[in-house]
Chains A and B, each alone.
Chain A
């Protein structure tokens, strides 16, 4: 079961990565990042379950804290972008590189 959990984690991660690369709407890109973080935590939990060690769940808590901090800051940036550029398209703000 744990081996199959790793396969599921891989599928979820690839789905998130494909979404991140394919979509240009920043909301969906953030959702894809959350999906990838979820896949990573599933891999950690599966590994912790395989070795009956608590370390996997500890890593899950750290991922959780990271995801919360990342989501709040990223969504604040998203609000600011939509306020200034009137769009949530990632390509529209590519002029930021100047």
Chain B
């Protein structure tokens, strides 16, 4: 399954380069989603299926959606609809769509012939990872939960809209 890995690696590098060099935030986010899907496929091919699923759910699903929300919030106003139409012309879908299509082809190939192609890396079952997570790394899990709660409270506190009088300028 070597060639699948190299195709996914090429897709992720191309998409990441487009993220960094793009001028439109929304287009960059589209490419970022593709880069994360390619990375997720690489995780799967490296024998980490559970990490691949979490990469899709949390990174591409939650964190990027958070970014999309904020980019949309930054541009409120009556012209927003027109602006969004200008941001997403028909050609904008083409690049990320083609890259995602490539990844979809890889996934289809994996579903069809995945068990037939031998792999040189063994897959680590989620059970092994879970046992390690709740065994020797239990303090890390607790610390992560203690990190997420201040993250939530901090985002709520910092992100609240100030009353007009509280503003400096």
Contact = CB atoms under 8 A, between A and B. Distances in A.
- Asked if A and B bind, the verdict is yes
**Interface residues of B toward A: which range?**
35 or more
Interface in A29-68: 30-32, 34-35, 38, 41-42, 45-46, 48-50, 52, 54-58, 60-62, 64-68
B82 interface: no
Contacts, number: 176
B24 to A, nearest CB: 10
Interface in B115-138: 120-122, 124, 128-129, 131-133, 137
Nearest to A22: B20
A61 B148 CA distance: 13
B151 A58 contact: no
Interface stretch (B57-65, B89-97, B103-111): B57-65
A54 B55 CA distance: 16
Main secondary structure of the interface of B (DSSP, over half): helix
Interface of B: 2, 5-6, 9, 12-13, 16-17, 19-20, 25, 28-29, 32, 35-36, 39, 42-43, 45-48, 50-51, 54-55, 58-59, 62-63, 66-67, 70-71, 73-74, 120-122, 124, 128-129, 131-133, 137, 140, 144-145, 147-148, 150-152, 154-159, 161-162, 167-169
Complex A-B, nearest 3 residue pairs according to Cβ-Cβ distance, in ascending order: A69-B151, A76-B159, A19-B20
